[in-house]
Structure 1
């Protein structure tokens, strides 16, 4: 009974934890998005290394709680306080990193399977090829975005490459409409990669999605990078936590009829 009361309280306040790879881009992006899209409380914990290192830690004990694991590793009182709280939702945001020397697609799949529910173990969002993909857009609506991909050379200097090929490099210039359209562009591309559909899906279609679609996206990206094309389709899935938390608001917004 006590646990049920605690969960109801958490859901009312929507206390949210983001476990992110970096210390700079991800926290700044989250702060900007929250300014326009949400009023819930949130915390950010920077893991400071890649998804493959996290997998190695978790693989040693499949029943290990991720917050407990991270709390045991940190030497920071501030981080320990963050990791000791209760959260209604946990989101993990990491980069695909196909050039990492320990890249292992099976580990990616296993992580997606394990972190498949934000209110339980957590929900993993992978950015292709990296978090800067959120702004890899020309003036929106950007119809060329559906087919946009980057090759190995471009991935190696992706942050710099995006700075030369984006109309949205200044985070401080983002408005509510810009953030909303960014989310819509990436979500439409997600569906386009899966189904070849360049329209915004409905809320019912969104609710039918599961981690299996995330695995399919990862499989397509892995195959494309290992092919002669040696590239990755630009896609930022970390923006989708907004849809996960506020589906009704998102699908009632003006982007519901957007087509690329």
Structure 2
């Protein structure tokens, strides 16, 4: 039996059921248990069993967790014997915003947890969601070419679920789930299953590449999975993101965009008429969430020559979208479509997202249809 221990009882088990259906061999025997509290609570409970100092406690994970859960009135593991479990996997959020202890204390505790839960055939294997499981929802349309750049500060993690919901291309987790409707037609079920599988494969590729980037600075699939050990990812998160002036965590950043912006600014100060530098700086501003600065740089290009720098118009639209100024974003987007002879699929998708936020359903559907049609044309031209 393989034991999966999740932090929460709502989101994670639903996602797991889809993963099990899509990717697990039929003979696999998983058992799911939810802890229903965060990783720092689990640490404090485990301390009471002296597991981090007492080596004799090693290998008794099922027994200890059952005791902890039963004290909370949860009998989920009551009938599970240690000898029946071949592998144990634990999935918990980093919960960057947790403030009952200092950040340094929290980080030390997670370090101890990762050291203890480092082997699925022994005490168990701990996997950390950065900053929380909802990061799987923080994407544009999959595959998301910008995923490598996403990170979030500790301050913003207090409202990360809403942040992810507002940013996401998707309205919910439904794009990652198989159908649970017994009355749904088989054709629709199969289509939803195929869509979910494709999206999970995209997410897997994006997250493995991102983990490798966090660890070694290379956007690629690593040759060995050992290169992405959980403690290695964690140490690099701390060194490159958490223990920095901006105090942030990368979703699962890559190059230091702040330093690049400083270089572009210095260059622009010396070469104020080199307009390509404003374009590149505007893109960097958007990536790090400085949307007002992005709007200003794009507007400078538009004022200079909006037909030469027509991309600046759609880039301004995107920045306005993230500022939630949807009415102004739509006004600027419509101007772009009026002067641009051949808007791309991505431009239609961006305007469609504005329509979605403004609850303009017919317009949203029309732009999404055109975006998909143009993407198909682009693929045909490539092949």
Structure 2 length-normalised TM = 0.53
Structure (1 or 2) with the greater strand fraction: 1
The total of aligned residue pairs comes to 217
What residue is the counterpart of 2:8 in the other structure? Answer: 22
Give the C-alpha shift of residue 85 in structure 1: 6.8
Aligned match for 1:216, one of 214, 220, 235:
235
Q: In the TM superposition, what whole-angstrom CA distance separates every residue of 1:108-160 from its partner, at most 9, and x where no partner exists?
A: 11111111111111000011110111221112221211110112343111111
| Equivalence map 1:145-224=2 (5 Å) | 145-174=147-176, 175-202=196-223, 205-207=224-226, 209-220=228-239, 224=241
After TM superposition, the structure 1 stretch with the greater mean CA deviation from structure 2, 205-214 or 180-189, is 205-214
SS in 2 for 1:22: coil
What residue is the counterpart of 2:85 in the other structure? Answer: 87
CA pair 87-50 structure 1, distance change in 2 beyond 3 A: same
Distance in 2 (CA, whole Å) between partners of 1:208 and 1:163 is 32
What residue is the counterpart of 1:38 in the other structure? Answer: 24
- 1:136 paired with 2:138, answer yes
What residue is the counterpart of 1:72 in the other structure? Answer: 67
Distance in 1 (CA, whole Å) between partners of 2:212 and 2:237 is 13
Q: In the TM superposition, what whole-angstrom CA distance separates every residue of 1:164-213 from its partner, at most 9, and x where no partner exists?
A: 112244333332111111111111100001111111223xx214554541
Distance in 2 (CA, whole Å) between partners of 1:26 and 1:85 is 26
Contact 2:237 / 2:250 at 8 angstroms: preserved in 1?
A: no
Distance in 1 (CA, whole Å) between partners of 2:218 and 2:16 is 28
Bigger relative contact order (CA 8 A; separation at least 6): 1
Give the C-alpha shift of residue 57 in structure 1: 2.1
SS in 1 for 2:169: coil
Distance in 2 (CA, whole Å) between partners of 1:113 and 1:158 is 27
CA pair 32-146 structure 1, distance change in 2 beyond 3 A: same
Gaps of at least 5 residues in structure 1 are: 1-14, 236-260
SS in 1 for 2:249: strand
Gaps of at least 5 residues in structure 2 are: 177-195, 253-383
- 1:231 paired with 2:231, answer no
Structure (1 or 2) with the greater helix fraction: 2
CA pair 209-173 structure 1, distance change in 2 beyond 3 A: closer
CA pair 182-189 structure 1, distance change in 2 beyond 3 A: same
- 1:52 paired with 2:40, answer yes
- 1:126 paired with 2:128, answer yes
CA pair 201-226 structure 1, distance change in 2 beyond 3 A: closer
Give the C-alpha shift of residue 27 in structure 1: 0.7
Distance in 2 (CA, whole Å) between partners of 1:30 and 1:198 is 27
Contact 2:141 / 2:169 at 8 angstroms: preserved in 1?
A: yes
Flag the structure with larger Rg. Answer: 2
Contact 1:70 / 1:83 at 8 angstroms: preserved in 2?
A: no
Contact 1:18 / 1:90 at 8 angstroms: preserved in 2?
A: yes
Q: In the TM superposition, what whole-angstrom CA distance separates every residue of 1:27-81 from its partner, at most 9, and x where no partner exists?
A: 1111111121113221211111111121122223224322111212313334423
Structure 1 length-normalised TM = 0.76
